[in-house]
């Protein structure tokens, strides 16, 4: 692809050699003359001086005293992501059902669907057109999968799960398993039947080995455009809003509500029925107590989660404790000497 063609695809202006060919996308520090890279921070800007990249995607105000070939955009990282998708397209699945797949006669399979080896599609399931189903997937009874979805190998959809269109489910993800509901009586735990559903909106992506449990009653809900990293657990009756981003190894207890555009770091633990309001940010490793409310736009850290400024002040005070301990010991010694002199 020529630089001018890439710029046209990105809807951006270029300067320099528009006929230069770009064949791949690479980090700025390792890019070669046929590669495109991007400048997203000060470190990359410094490395750009010695980079051999044939084309750089840069901010609008990026200086160019050396007359390099550039594509200027408002958001270099976003533009580079689009460039990567254009230069390195994912291999398209070939429509068709593998001979070893087991498709119930009562299932409805849309046009252009591909189903890999050992796939099972149960009775009453509906698969939208253009969806790709990897090897060894299980799609349960009365499951609905929308159009142009990608189910990587080994995905499990339990019964009564609704998946929107253009959803990506990575290997090992399990959607619709029973929620963790038990009642203690007579010294024994009795299972609370989990008879609800899971609903997943359009353009959601769920990472490898993540689990979204069905509701005990009602619906566990994952909103449009939400992105869940690997090994995320969403318990029964949670409601995850639109365009929420969740990093790896985070766990949501039952009944948690996360509003739209919240950002949640890795290894966060959220207690039952907590509420995370819109555009709140939860730092990695923090813990949110049961029924706690994190207010809209608030940035919190630590366990229990508290405002970032307060958390940093606490850390600063903790770092002073060793010195304060020495000072206290010295004060005690002086006091002891004074008391001895007084006697």
Residues catalogued as catalytic: 236
Contact 231, 213 (CB under 8 A): no
Side-chain half-sphere CA neighbours of 279 within 13 A:
2
Task: Please name which of 241, 240, 197 lies closest in space to residue 215, comparing C-alpha atoms.
Answer: 197
Contact 115, 97 (CB under 8 A): yes
Task: Please name which of 65, 66, 73, 56 lies closest in space to residue 22, comparing C-alpha atoms.
Answer: 56
Task: Please name which of 7, 52, 6, 63 lies closest in space to residue 27, comparing C-alpha atoms.
Answer: 52
The secondary structure of 242-266, three-state, reads: CCCEECCCCEECCCCEECCCCEECC
Three-class secondary structure of residue 160 per DSSP:
coil
Contact 219, 199 (CB under 8 A): yes
5: β partners: none
Side-chain half-sphere CA neighbours of 333 within 13 A:
6
Contact 163, 147 (CB under 8 A): no
Q: For Cα atoms 174, 177, 180, give the angle at the middle one, nearest 5 degrees.
A: 125
Task: Please name which of 210, 199, 180 lies closest in space to residue 241, comparing C-alpha atoms.
Answer: 199
Q: H-type helices in the chain, by residue range?
A: 3-10, 42-48, 76-87, 308-342
Cα–Cα distance list, 114 to 133, 134, 136, 149 (Å): 6, 8, 13, 11
Joined together, the tokens standing for residue 213 give: 């449990």
């Amino acid at each position: 692809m020529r630089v001018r063609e890439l710029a046209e695809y990105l809807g951006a202006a270029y300067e320099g050699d528009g006929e230069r060919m770009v064949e791949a996308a690479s980090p700025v520090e390792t890019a070669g003359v046929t590669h495109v890279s991007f400048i997203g921070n000060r470190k990359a800007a410094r490395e750009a001086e010695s980079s051999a990249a044939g084309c750089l995607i840069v901010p609008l105000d990026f200086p160019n005293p050396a007359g390099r070939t550039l594509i200027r955009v408002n958001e270099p990282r976003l533009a580079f992501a689009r460039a990567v998708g254009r230069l390195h397209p994912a291999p398209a699945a070939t429509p068709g059902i593998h001979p070893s797949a087991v498709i119930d006669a009562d299932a409805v399979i849309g046009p252009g669907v591909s189903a890999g080896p050992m796939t099972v599609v149960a009775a009453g399931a509906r698969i939208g057109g253009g969806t790709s189903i990897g090897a060894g997937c299980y799609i349960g009874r009365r499951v609905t999968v929308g159009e142009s979805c990608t189910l990587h190998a080994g995905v499990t959809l339990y019964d009564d799960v609704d998946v929107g269109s253009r959803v990506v489910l990575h290997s090992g993800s399990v959607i619709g398993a029973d929620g963790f509901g038990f009642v203690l009586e007579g010294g024994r735990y009795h299972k609370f039947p989990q008879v609800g559903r899971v609903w997943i909106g359009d353009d959601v992506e769920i990472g490898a080995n993540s689990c979204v449990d069905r509701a005990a009653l009602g619906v566990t809900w994952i909103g449009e455009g939400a992105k869940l990293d690997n090994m995320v657990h969403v318990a029964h009756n949670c409601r995850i809003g639109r365009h929420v981003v969740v990093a790896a190894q985070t766990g949501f207890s039952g009944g948690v509500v996360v509003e739209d555009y919240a950002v949640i770091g890795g290894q966060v633990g959220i207690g039952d029925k907590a509420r995370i309001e819109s555009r709140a940010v939860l730092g990695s490793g923090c813990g949110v107590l049961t029924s706690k409310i994190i207010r809209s736009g608030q940035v919190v850290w630590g366990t229990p989660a508290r405002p970032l400024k307060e958390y940093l002040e606490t850390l600063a005070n903790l770092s002073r404790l060793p010195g304060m301990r020495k000072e206290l010991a010295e004060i005690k010694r002086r006091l002891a000497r004074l008391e001895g002199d007084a006697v």
